[in-house]
Amino acid sequence: MKHLQIAVGIIRNSQQEIFITQRAADSHMAGFWEFPGGKVEQGETAELALKRELSEEVGIVVQEAVLLNVLEHTFTDRIVTLSFYMVEAWDGEPFGREGQPIRWVRQSELVAEEFPPANAAIIALLTR
């Protein structure tokens, strides 16, 4: 079974809003909302992958990222290890560089059902 390492950025502004993007129609878990990020490539640390992915996906340069939690989730066809980073300092204004829908959501108003199941525990942590 495939095992993927994923770096995930929880981009939070000073109003306690979180930046989220919608998964592409042709992707695994299509249509769900997600915290931006992506696969850790060979020879990369999770933090380096986070910085690269957030630059590629949402056009920001991460200044500071703090590891919040690491969660593992097993799907029928793959295992994913998710490293969640809180990102509160960056350069640029995040946007959907790949044309993906985006939105800012109050941290307290995140809805776990709108995200892939692997995100449930982190959303519970963020909204408690």
- Kindly report, residue by residue over 14-70, the tens digit of the pLDDT: 999 999 999 988 888 899 999 999 999 999 999 999 999 999 999 999 999 999 999
**One-letter identity of residue 103:** R
DSSP character at residue 117: G
Taken in order of first residue, the domains within the chain and their CATH numbers are 2-127 (3.90.79.10)
Buried-exposed string 105-114: b where 16+ CB fall within 10 A, e elsewhere: eeeeebeeee
Q: Known binder of ligand: residue 56?
A: no
Residue 62: the pLDDT is: 98
| Contacts of residue 73, Cβ cutoff 8 Å, sequence gap at least 6 | 79, 80, 82, 117, 118
Q: Known binder of ligand: residue 119?
A: yes
Q: Known binder of ligand: residue 113?
A: no
Residue 100: the pLDDT is: 93
Q: Known binder of ligand: residue 23?
A: yes
User: pTM, whole model, 2 decimals?
Assistant: 0.94
Q: Known binder of ligand: residue 28?
A: yes
